[in-house]
Structure formats: C-alpha cells, structure tokens
Structure 1
Amino acid sequence: MLSAFKRISLYAVALLFLFFTGYPFLYMLATSFKTQAYFFESPTSLWGTFVWENYKLVFELGIDRYFVNSLLISIISVVIVILTSAMVSFPLSRIRFKLNRPLYFLFLAGMMIPVHTTLIPVYVLTREIGLYDSLWSLTGPYVAFSLPISIIILTQFVKEIPKELDEAAIVDGSTHARLFWSIIFPLLTPAIATIGIYNFIHIWNEFVFGLILITTPSKMTLPLGLRAFYGEFSVNIPGIMAAITLGTLPLLIAYFTAQEKVVKGLSAGAVKG
C-alpha cells in the first residue's frame, strides 16, 4: 500500500513538473497560429483561430537566412570547441609536465570571467584584424568562451578512463597521437555529446556579441533577426512566437537525438571507483 502511494506521489510530482515545463512550449505553439486581433482579445487562450499567416510572414522577413546563419556559425563553433577541448584534455589528464596544474587552473579561472566584460576588447580586435561585420567575427568569441567549461568536463571524463588502455597501446607501439584518436577520443562520445548540446544551445541563443559585431541584415543570426517583429509602435507577438517556434526546432532535435549520451555524460565522473 505504501509503495503504491509512493509511486502515485512520484507520478503526481512528475506530472506537475511536466505541466510547468511543457505549458510554455504549448502556449508558444498555440499563439503562433493566432491572428493579432484574436491574441489581443484572448491572450491566454490555447485554442481559437488557426492561421498560417504568421509563418508566411516570418519567411517573408527572411527568417530562413537568419536560420542558416545561426546554424552555420553554431555548427562550426561547436566542432572547433569539441576538437580543441578534446585534444587539450588528453595531455592535461594523461601526461605529466610542469605546467599541467597551472594550465588546468588557468582554464578553470576562464569560467569565472564575465563574458560581456570583454565586449570592447573583442570589438576593437575584430576591427583590427578585418573580420568586423562577418559571420567569422563571431567564431572567435563563441569558441573562446566555450572552451574552459568544455575542457574541464572532458579532462574529468578522460581521468575516469582506465590508464591500462594507454599502457597496452604503448606496449603495442602506439604513439600518443594514435592512442588519442583511436582509443581515447571514441570513448569520449557521451561527454562530447554533453558539451556539444550545451554549447550549441548557448551559441544558438547568443545575442550581445552578434549585436556588436554584425551590422548587415543579411549576415545577422536568428536572435538578431527576431527584432524585425518589433515595430515602432507595436509588437507582432504571434509572429514572434512563430519565429521562436521555428528557432527551437534544431535545439529540440539535437537534444532528443543525443539525449541518452547527454545524460550519461552528465553523470560520468560523479562517482569514482
């Protein structure tokens, strides 16, 4: 009887959390199919008019161009972060040298730097090297501020991989490079999925650096493109909801595709031994 009551209580709590986390998505989707007139008449209603005009409008305003820009810069930045952080984590966790601990704490300190305090130096540097107002100007800041936490996560994950694998590979004549790419890197899949999803979401939603470093409308990312729905005297809320709905699709697809690996990567290293 007690176990049944406990099970029912857990399901009730789970349904409560599902409501609080799922309702905003349901409201966003429902609002994206409303007309502006109906939205102002009944802003909290989930059911009412069902029109496609908002989705037609967002494509007319160029959301496909903003979408492609965000997808391109997000994928390139995440790939660079994954490869770089994986290669850095290997010597930090496996090779002993004098600067091992100082470098580790340097990356750890990088997580404590407020990102937006670097806006002015990044802006000046970007203009000096001739990358201002290009998508490539965003790659540097996105990669740089994603590396510290990615390196810390992967370093801890590599430490959990048995060192006997290294010894066996070296006895067989393997070099450190081959050891990393053939043995260590494939075993990092859960942690790579974790940092990949985490950084993809962060980069996809980033606004401030895009606002500072991009001025040409055709080169803007999706968060910048959403400003097109803000008029001088009004805001097209159903249109914004339609754009946000389309903008969240890559995040949902990426997360549900790698969900199991993300959970495994987050739990890896939590318990030693």
Structure 2
Amino acid sequence: MTRSAKLRVGRPFRPGILLLGLLWLAVTTLPFLFVVATSLKTQEETYSESVWALPSHLDFGNYLEVLHGSFFTYLRNSFFVVGVSVTLIVLFSAMAAYVFARVPFRLSKPLFGLVVAGMIVPLHAALVPIYLLIRNIGLYDTNFALIGPYIALSLPVSIFILTEFMRQIPRELEEAAQLDGCGTLKIFWRIYFPLSTPGLATVAIYNGIALWNEFIFAYVLTSTPMHRTLPLAMWDFQGQYTSNIPAMLSVVTLTSLPLILVYAFGQERIIKGMMAGSLKG
C-alpha cells in the first residue's frame, strides 16, 4: 500500500477521534462548571430558579462566608494529614517493594500474595475495628487518627505498583554496586530508589488524590472542626432541615483548586510518572 493510500485510509478515523476527545472534555469539564456556576448563586436563587439556570449575577458572598469560617483550619489539617501520609506511604512501599523484587527469601511469594490480597478487602469493612482501635489508643479526634489508617489501607496497591516497577530495573546495576562494596541498604538508596522516581511519583499522585478527597474515615475518626479535613467542611453549611447548597459547592470548588493547580504546573511530570511503568520493557 502506497503512502497516499495509507493517508486516505487513516483520514476517516480522525473526525471520530476528535469527536470522542470533545465528548470526553465535556464529560469531565461540565460537572465542574456546573459546581462553579451554582456556587455563584444566592441561596434563594438556587431554590427558586432551574437547577441548570446560570446565575443572574456573580455573587461571591458564599466564598467570603466559607473563607471567614473554619476553612483554613480544614485546609491546614488536610495538608498535614495527606502530606505525612503520602510521604510515609512512598517510603514504606518502596522499601517493601525492593525486598519483594530483589531480595530472595523463602516466604517472598506467599507474603507478596498476602499483600496483594489486601487490595480486594473492602475499605469500609475495616471501619469499625479501626474506630475501636483508634479510641482505645487515645488518638480519636486528632490529626494522627487518620494517618495510620490512611497508610495501612494504601500500602497494598502501592507495594504492588512499585514491586512490578523495580523488577524491571536491570540487575546488572545491583551487581556492579555489590562489586564496589555496597550493601543492601546502600543499593536501595543509591540505585533503586532514585531509578524508581517515576513509579514513586505515580504512587504519590494516586494516593494524594485519593486521600485528599477521603470522607468516611475522616468523618468517623474526628468529631471537631479543629481536627477535621477539607471534605468535611461542607458539614458547616448543612442543618437539620435545610442546606446552603451554594456555600457547600463553594467549599467543593475551593477544595478542588489545590489539585487543579498541582496538575496545571506539573502536568508533564504527572503524565510521565503515570506512563513510566508501561513504557519500560
């Protein structure tokens, strides 16, 4: 087949790909635009007009009300809990993955299978035992109440991702380091940890987004605004018989901004980290 014939064959698919891209853009963008538009309405306008109607005028009072409340306390708690949790998840999962990938021992396969089995356990099935444990050790309603469960529940998938990634690193690098007198710990820190940066970025991004938006454990393990995270900020605008919908969606918009900014400034690095494992061979 000539080159011109190949181009003619390929052309009919281009409008379809463009259409699918525009459709996906609409699916991902329109819900966020709806949230932003509703957050700019007054509470009376929300209940009196159509849900899909645009705001008659831009009302930023909801944002001022949110920012004058406990929003920054929630924001500080989220940064602390998610930052500490993701850092420890990356560190612990990288160390465990290196052992499973490169350190031979008799129980390696059974233990790795046990770790992988942890991925199929429903997270909410552990909610009551974790709640009782946190109360018994005196961490209930503290920032540290969330860090332990977040790390434990995130380790299985993180170890699985990094183990498969580290298995693809050439063993010759490890052998050369051993000839230079490096021990197991030095080999991990000087070779496997730096070369696993794309995989570590994938784990950090995946868990960071999941923990930033986590609701149920934060709701059960904390009870006061002083220690609650951003997903619970909406409860400040929900009463027994009514809810301030625009203010709640203002919280959703503000909560989404840090993730949007991280993606906007680190888009290329994020995509490379997500694709690194599939491109190695």
TM-score band (shorter)?
over 0.9
Does the Cα contact within 8 Å between 1:81 and 1:150 map onto a contact in 2? Answer: yes
**Match for residue 207 of structure 2?**
199
Aligned match of 2:152: 144
Distance (whole Å) between structure 2 residues aligned to residue 55 and residue 247 of structure 1: 12
Residue identity opposite 1:96 in structure 2: P
Q: How far has the Cα of 1:247 moved from its partner?
A: 0.2
Q: Is the counterpart of residue 19 in structure 1 residue 26 in structure 2? A: yes
CA shift, 1:239, in A, is 0.8
Residue 29 of structure 1 aligns with which residue? 36
Deviation of 1:242 after TM superposition, in Å, equals: 0.9
Partners of 2:82 and 2:122 in 1: CA distance: 21
In 2, the alpha carbon distance for the partners of 1:150 and 1:27 equals 34
CA distance 1:170–1:257, change in 2 (3 Å): farther
Shift of 1:269: 4.0
Question: Cα distance 1:253–1:212, how it changes in 2: closer, same or farther (>3 A)?
Answer: same
Counterpart residue identity of residue 24, structure 2? F
The Cα offsets for residues 96-134 of structure 1, whole Å up to 9 and x where unpaired, read as 011211111111011111111112211221122111111
Q: CA deviation at 1:2?
A: 4.4
Distance in structure 2 (CA, Å) of the matches to 1:219 and 1:235: 23
- Structure 1 position 180 matched with structure 2 position 188: yes
Question: What SS does structure 2 have at the residue aligned with 1:183?
Answer: helix
In 1, the alpha carbon distance for the partners of 2:10 and 2:257 equals: 39
12, 17, 23: which one pairs with 1:10?
17
Please provide the CA RMSD for this pair: 1.7
Counterpart AA for 2:197: T
Identify which range, 248-257 or 202-211, moves more after superposition: 248-257
Question: Is the contact between residue 66 and residue 250 of structure 2 (CA under 8 Å) also seen in structure 1?
Answer: yes
Whole-angstrom distance in 1 between the partners of 2:59 and 2:45 = 11
Q: 1:243 aligns with which of 246, 251, 263?
A: 251
CA deviations 1:181-211 (Å, max 9, x no partner) are: 1121111111111111111111111111112
Matched residue, 1:39? 46
Equivalents in 2 of 1:218, 1:234: separation in Å? Answer: 24
Give the 3-state SS of the residue equivalent to 2:100 in structure 1.
helix
Code of the residue aligned with 1:23 in structure 2: it is L
* Pairwise CA distance, 1:6: 2.1
1:94 equivalent in structure 2: 102
Correspondence for 1:60: 68
Query: What residue is the counterpart of 2:272 in the other structure?
Result: 264
In 2, the alpha carbon distance for the partners of 1:82 and 1:121 equals 25
Q: Distance in 1 between matches of 2:253 and 2:86?
A: 22
- Corresponding residue to 2:136 among 128, 133, 138: 128
CA contact (8 A) 1:191 1:262 kept: no
Contact 2:73 2:225 in 1 (8 A): no
Give 5+ residue unaligned stretches, structure 2.
Answer: 1-7
- Residue 3 of structure 1 deviates from its aligned partner by 3.2
Report if the CA contact (8 A) 2:39-2:247 is conserved.
yes
Provide, for residues 194-235 of structure 1, a one-character-per-residue CA deviation record: whole Å limited to 9, x for no partner: 111111111111111112211122111112221111122221
Please identify runs of 4+ aligned residues in structure 1 that moved more than 4 A: none
Q: Aligned partner of 1:223: which letter? A: P
TM-score (structure 2 length as normaliser): 0.91
Cα pair 2:86 2:207 within 8 Å, conserved = yes
**Residue type at the aligned position of 2:152:** A
What one-letter code is carried by the residue in structure 2 that aligns with 1:5? P
Structure 1 residues 42-81: Cα deviation after superposition (integer angstroms, max 9, x where no partner): 3212453102101011112211111111111011100000
C-alpha deviation, 1:32, in angstroms: 1.5
Contact kept, 8 Å, 2:42 with 2:246, in 1: the verdict is yes
The letter of the residue matching 2:173 is L
The answer to whether the 8 Å contact 1:38/1:49 transfers is: no
| Aligned 1:151-230 pairs, distance under 5 A | 151-230=159-238
Contact 2:154-2:207 at 8 Å conserved across structures? yes
Cα 1:91–1:257, aligned 2, differ >3 Å: closer, same or farther?
farther
1:1-57 Cα deviation digits (max 9, x unpaired) = 543332222112101110111101111112221212223313212453102101011
